[in-house]
A and B are shown apart, each in its own frame.
Chain A
């Protein structure tokens, strides 16, 4: 039995503890916003948070989540109110959209640690997330914009 919290809800599962968290989230919990891209932590499409830290769920056994709090894209903010989602809409970032869950989850940790990130900070935090459509210029702009939005909201 594996027990942890996903997007604020407690879950208990009978599942082989070596199964990657990605597939438990997608298949056992039906949260398909987290994507499979490579299976070896190369592309970042599967990025989720475990206790607030970005984790490549395709290589993280579900046992690693035991007793912890997991956040997936579905839990980032269901109503698109997170500044990152709003900035992604403003900059119209996605093309095919497949990598964007992972991009947003990585960017969320970046902004938590560095509320006003430089381009170098963005490079360092986002280099593990591949976008085959080439939305990088817009991702960069959207992260800067989200930082501004969050700063304005904080100042109010």
Chain B
């Protein structure tokens, strides 16, 4: 992978920045070896390293250092370990890791879940851990039998030798726990894999069907109170006065207290806290954002895009080539702010004592959340225990650099004098900021007389996710632009001789954050729609036009061809329907979508989406299929329905009725096809998202001749 790979860039930055700020461990490190075994021997289980515990009851518990937010890490990571251990899969379970440097992300140097990286970053770690445990179990059996370890083999949770001798792992656990872990282990030949690469069912499914699984919002503690917070209605607004007389007199209300995030109402139950919160009369000093208006913001973006921005990429001379092009086209694409809108609204439970603090929340950023919680509590980080619950969706929102929802809960706990759970209402969650930033792409391109693309110039305007965060210095590495803003256009894969990419960074006090697929969520839309427009300008088929420009990109071509072939690209569609295609590289994986749509009375209906995904060597095709389907629906929801707008500084959307999510009756048929190869493993949580919007937009053009240049899609605004 080249240095332009944005995923790598993000990795580098996290490694360096966390080291700089907290002195945390960096890089791959095989945890716990030799330290835990003696201590664990006493507790009738064998824990050869930080990632696995084998009980005398045969249970194999895999300790997972990534958060389960729907993407299946409580299954795919245990599969890696169980494969090398030769465990009996029916005895394998999972457990969420505590916060500890030994559970740091091997590439990012902190404990976290994001960047579609859990599986590829855990490949070595979990396989090594399983292989080390297996070697120790073999050694224990060999000792008991007084045979050479090399005469032993393993199968389904047992060590075997000869034709009739067999000892189960549970039997061997106590003896194995007394042994020294091996310094080096041999990993399996992939040809012998029994689990990896198979469509294994998820381990966490049953508990998600009977209410047993515990999300953050479900945490119960003795004597726990519940808090709801009145937060400023405008970003940067400050509380001026509060009249809480009525709220105070309401049943169940224990405390009303001003904290940095707003005014917290602490009560016995959620409903009491919420009704009392709604009864507060707060006067706000509306501050610098009181006139903020997204339509005016977009006008500003359009003006800025007329001037050159910071150079991101410059191949050849795009201006001269554009001037000399036989046919030329300029187009402006716009995308709005978006909410992550996890089904489980934000929440955090804190039990604060004089010298300790326990936190329960669905965190994607354990190291940072613990450090920020400790700071808020006035305790050293090692006095703070953070329990990662199941996450009712994450999509990036629960990886907040400021730990907003954790820190405020610590502040409330300080005042509450009892364990307290802070719950955000849906409206609180939507108005709470940290959105996918709004972006504008102004693109100019030209083709020569034979229809070959000769020039491309992209100018982006939008907010940086990194600027102003503790990550800025390292992430941007002295660059005057944010790589997360331009990822997916800075590495434009098409063979066009003259390419310019420029970035304008907008400074707006709306907090923005990574939203499933980050920059790719808008760059793929702009790039893939404009490529489609260039194809039409050249009078060529959009699939063939892309093919011709991707001859040097075999993996792009692979997914493009697969999607086109499976979709039946050349088969005619009934009148009123259209087919659109898009291809994109993100998070070390390649994806292509073909969408089939119809348009009637200005309403778009997506009938079918065919997704091709190349994520290199894969672990669980069942989960990959689920992520590809979910990604397509996530992307299509945004494309068809979603936007956050502000007027007079206030957010105009409040809940699912004004910020809709695709529903089952609107959901197309989705087919997923996975490319088989031996390439390095890539991500899967996010790569399914970016192509959905451009594939649908391009299908609308095929159906109607109208171009979609603004999301969400409104046929009445098409050009």
Give the B-binding residues of A (Cβ under 8 A): 16, 19-20, 23, 26-28, 30-40, 42-43, 45, 72-74, 76-78, 80, 85, 88-89, 92-101, 104, 122-124, 126-140
Contact = CB atoms under 8 A, between A and B. Distances in A.
B220 interface: yes
B240 interface: no
Given A35-B343, A96-B342, 10 more contacts: A32-B214, A32-B218, A39-B655, A73-B211, A85-B209, A99-B343, A123-B665, A126-B665, A131-B664, A136-B663
Closest CB pairs A-B (n = 5): A33-B211, A134-B633, A98-B392, A97-B208, A96-B70
12 contacts: A20-B271, A23-B269, A28-B269, A32-B217, A36-B270, A36-B423, A74-B211, A80-B209, A88-B209, A98-B343, A100-B209, A132-B661
A19 to B, nearest CB: 5
Interface in B609-629: 622, 626-627, 629
Contacts of A77: 210
B626 A92 contact: yes
Nearest to B657: A42
Interface stretch (B173-181, B199-207, B280-288, B579-587): B199-207
A73 B271 CA distance: 21
B64 interface: no
A72 B211 CA distance: 9
Interface in B251-301: 251, 269-271
Contact of B205 (A35, A93, A126): A93
A23 B593 CA distance: 42
A133 B630 contact: yes
A89 B207 CA distance: 10
B215 interface: yes
Contacts of A89: 201, 205-206, 209
B344 interface: yes
A49 to B, nearest CB: 14
Nearest to B426: A38
Given A97-B213, A100-B209, A132 B72 contact: no
Interface in B516-559: none
Contacts of B426: 37-40
A99 to B, nearest CB: 5
B594 interface: no
Interface string B388-413: 00111111000000000000000000
Contact of B667 (A30, A43, A137): A137
B392 A95 contact: no
Contact of A96 (B218, B269, B391): B391
Contact of A94 (B209, B215, B217, B669): B209
A128 B276 CA distance: 29
Interface string B206-235: 111111111101101000001000000000
Contacts of A129: 663-664
Contact of B211 (A16, A94, A101): A101
A152 B622 CA distance: 26
B70 A78 contact: no
Contact of B271 (A19, A38, A126, A135): A19
Contact of A78 (B210, B217, B341, B627): B210
Contact of B70 (A123, A128, A133): A133
Nearest to B391: A96
